[in-house]
A and B are shown apart, each in its own frame.
Chain A
Amino acid sequence: MIARKKIFWVSIFVVFYLVLADLIAPFDPIMSLDRENLSSLPPLTRVYEINLKDGGKVIAFDYVKQGEFVYYTQKFSRGRVKLEDLKNVRSLLFVFGTDNLGRDVLSRTIYGGKISLLVGIIASFIALFVGLIVGVFAGYFGGIIDKVLMRITDVFLAFPKLFLVLVVVSLSSGQTIFSLILILGLLSWMGIARFTRAEFLKLKNMEFVLALEAIGFPDLKIALRHILPNAILPSLVNMPLLIGDLILTESILSFIGFGVQPPTPTWGSMISEAEKSLLSTWWLPIPPGILISATVLIMNWASEIEE
C-alpha cells in the first residue's frame, strides 16, 4: 500500500477509537465498584454483583440461593441477604483482572489509550504547525533568516530529546495534560521544519513559482498558497512516525512520574503503577505494554515508505 492510503486507514481507525473508547470500556476506569473486594484480581476473574431492591449492591465471589436467603462469599467475609430483597444478580467478568485499587484493567487500558493517543496527536499537530512556520520562512526567504532558523533547529536537535523534555516538564510549575501536550509539541518540530525547508528549496526554483513572481503575486501568498501545498506531503507522511514517537515519549514520561498525573490513566502511567507491585500483580503491565507497542508499530508501518 502507498503511504497515503495507509495513513488514511490509520486515521479512520484512530478517529473511531477516540469516539468509541468510552462506549467500549465495560467499567469506570477511574472509580472502582468496590475497592476492597475487587482489588488485585487476576485475569479472567468472574464476580457477581448482587443488586438489592432498595438500591444497595453487594460484590460477591460466589453466591447460593438456599431457603429464603441468598448466601454469598466475599474476599474477606461472608454474608446473606433475604431472597425477597433481591432484585437481580449480574455477572461481571474482568478479562485483564483488576489493579490494586480494584479498577478494571481492560477499561483503564481502553480509556488510557484514548489519553495517550490524544496527547500524541495534538502534540504532533502543534509540532507540525511550528515546524511548517519555521520551514516556510527558512525555505522561502533564505539568506540570513534561513541561516538563523536552521542554526536554532540544529541546537534543538542536538539536545537528547528525552532529557530536554524532562528538564522543561520538571521546571515548569503545575503539570496538566495541556502543559504536557504543549511542551511535547514545542520540542518536536525540528524534523518537520527541515523537511519543509528542503522541499521549499527544491520547489522555489521551479517555473510555476517564477511565473507567479512574474505576474507579481506577493511573496507570502506564493509561499503559503502555492508552494506549501506541494511541500507539505513529506511532513504529512512523517506524521504517524512522529505521533508514535510522541506516544512513546509520553509513556516514558508518565512511567518516570512526570507525565499525566493519576487518577487519569495513560498506558505509560499504568505500567508505572504496575511496576510498584510487580511481584504480586504480574498481569498489570501486560495489556498497556502490548497496546503501546501495537500502536507505535502501526504508526511506524503507516509512515514506512516501500522500497
Chain B
Amino acid sequence: MILKRILNAIFLSLGISTVVFLLLRILPSVSFADLYLSPRLSDETIARIKSSYGLDKPVLIQFFVWVKEIAMGNFGFSFIYRKPVIECIFDAFLSTLIIGLPALIYSFGLGIVVGVQLARKKGKAVDKFVSVFLLILYSIPTFWVGIVFILIFSYALGFFPSSGLRSFNFNEMSFVEKIFDLFWHIFLPSFTLGIAPMSAVARFVRSHTLKVLSQTYVKMAKAKGLEERLIFYRHVLPNALLPVVTLFGLYLPVFLAGSVVVEQIFSIPGLGKLAIDSIFKRDYPLTVGITLFVSFIVIFGNLISDILYTIFDPRIRLE
C-alpha cells in the first residue's frame, strides 16, 4: 500500500514537472533566451546564448535534461541572485517556516479543541453562535485580516511591529532578548496566517466528531451504562481525531498560499515574497523553481499524512 502511495507521489512530481515545462514552452511571452536579448545582437551570439541554455536541442531532449536537473536537486540557476535556485529557496524557506510552524501548531491545536467542544454542545446556543463565527472567519481573506491587524495592533495601539522579523538593534541583544524579539515579531503574521485554517479544522473536527457520535458503538457504550465523559474522551475522541492527520496534508497548500500574502503584507523575506519578487523581476528559473519546490512539499506532505493515516487507523488499508 505504502509503496503504491510513494509511486503515486513520484508520478505526480513527474507530472507537475511536465506541466511546468510545457507552460514554459507554450506560453507566448516566454522563451528563456528571448528575454534578455538585445536587438543589436548578431545571429551568431543569439545562437551561442541559445545553445548555452540548451535551447538548440530537440524539445524531447530538453525535457529529459530538465527532469534530470530537477532530480539532481538542482532547480536551476537564478538570473538575479546569481546562485543556484535551491540556495535562494533554502534561506527564504526558513523565514516561511518561522511564521508557518507556530501558525500550523496553534491553528490545529485550537481548531481541534474548539471543534470537539462544539460537537459536545451540539444544538446549544454556544454551538450555533461559534459555528457561524467560524464560518465568518473562514470567509475573511487573509490579507485583509493582516491589514486590519496592522491598523489596530501596530498603528493604533502600538503593541506589535508592522513588518520584518527583527528589530534594528537585533545584533546588540542578549540571547533571551533575541528570542523574545523574534516572538514579538512573528506574533501578528503567525496569528493572521492561522485564522482561516483554524476555523476550517474546527469545522471539520466538529462535523466529524458528530458523525462518530452517531455510530452504533457509542449507543452500545451508553446502553452499557458507561459514563458520558468516559465514552466521549476514551471511545469517541480517538476515532474522531484520526482524519485530522489527512487534514494536515490538505491544508499545507492553504498555509503556503497564505504565507504568500502574509509575507507580502508584513515584509517577511520568505518563500512567498521571493516568489512574487522573482515574478516582478522576471527571474523565470527562480519562479519555476519555487513553484516546483512548493508542489513537491505539498505532495510530500500528502504522502506523509496518508502513510501516517494508514499506520494510525488499521481500518484504512488503501486499495
Are A and B bound to each other?
A: yes
Interface residues of A (CB under 8 A from B): 151-152, 154-156, 158-164, 166-168, 170-174, 244, 248, 251-252, 255-258, 271, 274-275, 278-279, 282, 285-286, 289, 292-294, 296-297, 300-301, 304, 307
Q: Count CB-based A-B contacts (< 8 Å).
A: 138
Contact with A along B132-172 (1 / 0, CB 8 A): 00011011110110011011000100000000000000000
Residue ID in chain A nearest B296 by CB atoms: A158
Please give, as numbers and ranges, the residues of chain A lying within 8 Å of B264 by CB-CB distance.
Answer: 255-256
Q: Are B257 and A173 in contact (CB under 8 A)?
A: no
Asked if B147 and A274 sit within 8 Å, CB to CB, the answer is yes
Residues in B whose Cβ lies below 8 Å from that of A292: 140-141, 144
Is B105 part of the binding interface, using a Cβ–Cβ cutoff of 8 Å? no
Inter-subunit contact A248/B207 (CB<8 Å): no
Q: Is the CB of B27 within 8 A of A163?
A: no
Inter-subunit contact B155/A282 (CB<8 Å): yes
Q: Do residues A300 and B135 form an inter-chain contact, with CB atoms below 8 A? A: yes
CB-contact partner of B140 in A173, A278, A293, under 8 A: A293
> In the complex, A208→B147 CA distance in Å?
56
A residues less than 8 Å from B140 (CB atoms): 289, 292-293, 296
Which one, B18, B139, B260, B287, contacts A162 given CB within 8 A? B260
A161–B298 alpha-carbon span in the complex (Å): 11
Taking CB atoms, residues of chain B closer than 8 Å to A301 are 135
B287–A170 contact, CB under 8 A?
A: yes
Residues of B within 8 A of A293 (CB): 136, 139-141, 144
On chain B, the residues within 8 Å of A278 by CB distance are: 147, 150-151, 155
Chain B, 181-236, CB within 8 A of any chain A CB: 207, 210
Residues of B that sit less than 8 Å from A by CB: 11-12, 15-16, 18-20, 23-24, 27-30, 135-136, 138-141, 143-144, 147-148, 150-151, 155, 207, 210, 252-253, 256-257, 260-261, 264-265, 275-276, 279-280, 284, 287-288, 290-291, 294-295, 298-299, 302
6 A-B pairs within 8 Å (CB atoms) are namely A154-B12, A163-B294, A166-B260, A168-B23, A292-B140, A293-B140
Is the CB–CB distance between A171 and B30 below 8 Å?
Answer: yes
A172 B29 Cβ-Cβ under 8 A = yes
User: When the two chains form their complex, are residues A275 and B265 in contact, meaning their CB atoms are under 8 A apart?
Assistant: yes
B269, chain A: closest CB distance, angstroms: 16
How far is the CB of A182 from the nearest CB of chain B, in Å? 12
Shortest Cβ distance from residue A277 to the other chain B in the assembled complex, whole angstroms: 12
In the complex, which residues of chain A have a beta carbon less than 8 angstroms from the beta carbon of B138? Answer: 300
Please name all residues of chain B whose beta carbon is closer than 8 Å to the beta carbon of A174 when the two chains form the complex.
Answer: 29
Residues of A within 8 A of B279 (CB): 166-167, 170, 258
Partner of A167, one of B11, B23, B28: B23
Instruction: Give chain B residues whose Cβ lies under 8 Å from the Cβ of A173.
Output: 27-29
Given contacts A160-B253, A173-B29, contact A296 B144 (CB under 8 A): no
A160 to B148, CA, bound (A): 26
The answer for the CA separation of A39 and B136 in the assembled complex, in Å, is: 33
- In the complex, chain B residues whose CB is within 8 Å of the CB of A271: 143-144, 147
- A294 to chain B: which residues have CB within 8 Å? 139
Contact status B298-A158, CB under 8 Å: yes
Chain B residues with CB under 8 Å of A251's CB are 141, 143
Assembled-state Cα–Cα distance A293/B195 (Å): 14
With A158-B298, A160-B298, A297-B139 in contact, do A167 and B20 touch (Cβ < 8 Å)?
Answer: yes
Query: Is the Cβ of B253 less than 8 Å from the Cβ of A151?
Result: no
Q: Are A163 and B257 closer than 8 Å at their CB atoms? A: yes
A171–B34 alpha-carbon span in the complex (Å): 13
Q: Report the separation of the CA atoms of residues A275 and B145 in the bound assembly, to the nearest whole angstrom.
A: 12
A248–B280 Cα distance when bound, in Å, is: 21
CB distance from B253 to the nearest CB of A (A): 4
A13 to B280, CA, bound (A): 38
Check A171 against B24 for contact (C-beta < 8 Å): yes
Smallest beta-carbon distance B292→chain A, Å: 9
Q: Please name the residue on chain A nearest to B196 by beta carbon.
A: A248
Contact partners of A166 in chain B: CB under 8 A: 260, 275-276, 279, 291
* Chain A minimum-CB-distance residue to B211: A307
Closest to B252 in A: A160
Chain A residues contacting B23 (CB-CB under 8 Å) are 167-168, 171
